[in-house]
Amino acid sequence: MKQVKAHIAVSLDGHTATLDNELDWLPDEVKRTVGKHCLEADCLLMGANTYTYIFEHWGGWPYKSQRSFVVSHHDTNLTPDCGVEFLTEEPLRKVYELKQTHDILVVGGGKLLTSLVKAGLLDCLTIYTIPVMVGKGIGFIGETFGSKWKLSGSKIIYGNIISAEYELLY
Ligand SMILES: NC(=O)c1ccc[n+]([C@@H]2O[C@H](COP(=O)([O-])OP(=O)(O)OC[C@H]3O[C@@H](n4cnc5c(N)ncnc54)[C@H](OP(=O)(O)O)[C@@H]3O)[C@@H](O)[C@H]2O)c1
């Protein structure tokens, strides 16, 4: 079976974005690093809010070479010609099926990550801890059933950011 991985930048107070979806607290180097992983990925997976954020802030769809899947209850696909597909019917089952044949990179956000962790579908998680407190924001991960993870690697990047890789323990 292939793997589902996520690379997520988290503020020191545990947020992935401010309440108004701002990512201006994220250093450009980290944005570029995450973007590079996206461009190298086999398939991309994201929640509807992250899809909307990318579409609105990047002036279109930047990952045209990747198959991109958006999890939502509603198909609001604005970029069907760019390899973007909405998963609205039993989306987590579809992710499970996709995982049989494809490595998947989860772009975000926290709500989708929570669903994936609850379903036992996320195998690897890389967290970039940014030494900034954003105050009120969108949480990194919600309530799950509890799970154990192994720290499989860590390093300091760009001077003051901890990059830590975790693998789900079965
Ligand atoms: N810091 C980072 O590295 C990073 C990375 C990615 C995103 N972000 C930021 O995070 C914010 C978005 O994160 P978020 O947590 O609010 O939202 P999200 O996870 O991107 O999207 C949440 C939406 O996805 C759909 N969804 C998620 N799980 C589902 C499931 N199991 N079944 C059906 N639908 C499901 C629902 O859409 P519907 O309501 O349409 O049904 C839900 O409202 C944005 O500001 C984005 O820029 C930050």
| Closest by CA position to 21, among listed 50, 1, 46 | 50
CA of residue 169 to ligand 1 center, whole Å: 25
Helices 91-99 & 110-118 angle (0-180, nearest 10):
70
Query: What are the residue ranges spanned by the domains of the chain?
Result: 4-168
What confidence category does residue 170 fall into, taking pLDDT thresholds of 50, 70 and 90?
confident
- CA-based end-to-end distance of the chain: 14
Q: Tell me, what's the pLDDT at 49?
A: 96
CA of residue 21 to ligand 1 center, whole Å: 11
What would the pLDDT profile of 92-102 be if each residue is shown by its tens digit?
Answer: 999 999 999 99
Q: Residue 79 pLDDT more than 90?
A: yes
Report the alpha-carbon distance of residue 16 to residue 7 in Å, rounded. 11
Residues whose beta carbon lies within 6 Å of some atom of ligand 1: 8-9, 16-17, 21, 23, 46-50, 53, 71-74, 91-92, 107-112, 115, 138
Report the alpha-carbon distance of residue 152 to residue 31 in Å, rounded. 22
CATH, domain 4-168, list 3.40.50.300, 3.30.360.10, 3.40.430.10, 3.50.50.60: 3.40.430.10
Q: Decide: pTM greater than 0.85.
A: yes
CA of residue 36 to ligand 1 center, whole Å: 20
